[in-house]
A = this chain, B = another copy of it.
């Protein structure tokens, strides 16, 4: 913001040291060389940076904004952002603006009153109008976008959804499955399309004909996995494995199988997508595609702190690698 006070990131920029180093000096920690400390102290004094405890002083703040905080992966992103911000002596302000324009507007007003040093948006939590206002405020903005919801104007951190969809399908093919069901995510999200295309690409690469009857709609939520799995089981020739585009849908599929007395993985293999913490503990533990959510949060926080120092990111969009995590919900098909 044009008129806002000098921040530790400004000081770090001018001193040519890292933000954590400045924060160590500000915080009176002793793990800084005397020469560096002297240089930073001099800059802090010259710019009148207010120290701890002096009335009216403020520490740097990063705003982390979600649509809602009921998403099971919110805490993963919060953890990543907080780790980097905490190390830099920066506070992480977590907000949920829901889908109400009034709520987003109040958040924006609070943000201006806080003179926040940067904003991390999780997916498209803000309407375009609000995003334009943010741009006018000049507050650095980074988008964390596991959903791949849109072509970004701001620096955006995503995950390799297409590669993840391909890896999950290849795993099932390597186990010997040929009829592999796919439960889709919401069609409006790019990540849904990317995961489906990854599934199809793996089938193509293995010369397995794609059967459109094996692709059923979904929305990432548990109920859709339950319903979608039942649809697949009711087919004249059901699949021997199901790849659900989210962990919640995979758990729904496992419940649908349990209700029919079918065992996972003996009777049907199930693969999810996300690697939510709880799927390590599902019965059976879920084979899934890991989204590096806390790493995405860490990178977003670092990028926002860099932008506050006017350091531009290497690329406007970065995708962190997804990774197949093989647990107990997949096995070779009965027929093999």
Give chain A's interface residues, CB within 8 Å of chain B: 1, 3-5, 23, 26-29, 50-53, 55-59, 61, 63, 69-70, 72, 74-75, 78-79, 82-83, 86, 89-96, 102-103, 105-107, 109-110, 112-115, 222, 248, 251-252, 254-255, 258, 276-278, 280-285
> Which residue of chain B has its CB nearest to the CB of A249?
B281
Residues of B near A107 (CB, < 8 A) are: 86
Residues of B near A114 (CB, < 8 A) are: 58-59, 61, 91
Copies of this chain, count: 2
Query: Which residue from B89, B110, B252, B284 sits with its C-beta under 8 Å from A59?
Result: B110
Give A83 to B222 CA distance when docked, in angstroms. Answer: 25
Residues of B near A51 (CB, < 8 A) are: 113
Give A61 to B57 CA distance when docked, in angstroms. Answer: 13
Expressed in whole angstroms, the minimum distance between the Cβ of A21 and any Cβ of chain B is 13
Residue contact A106 to B222, C-beta cutoff 8 Å = no
Residue contact B251 to A58, C-beta cutoff 8 Å = no
Residues of B near A26 (CB, < 8 A) are: 109, 113
Residue contact A96 to B103, C-beta cutoff 8 Å = no
Residue contact A94 to B82, C-beta cutoff 8 Å = yes
Residue contact B70 to A27, C-beta cutoff 8 Å = no
Residue contact B56 to A4, C-beta cutoff 8 Å = yes
Give A60 to B4 CA distance when docked, in angstroms. Answer: 17
Residues of B near A58 (CB, < 8 A) are: 56, 58, 113-115
Using known A-B contacts A106-B27, A106-B86, A255-B281, determine if residue A95 contacts B92 with beta carbons closer than 8 Å: yes
Residue contact B69 to A79, C-beta cutoff 8 Å = yes
Using known A-B contacts A282-B282, A283-B258, determine if residue A110 contacts B91 with beta carbons closer than 8 Å: yes
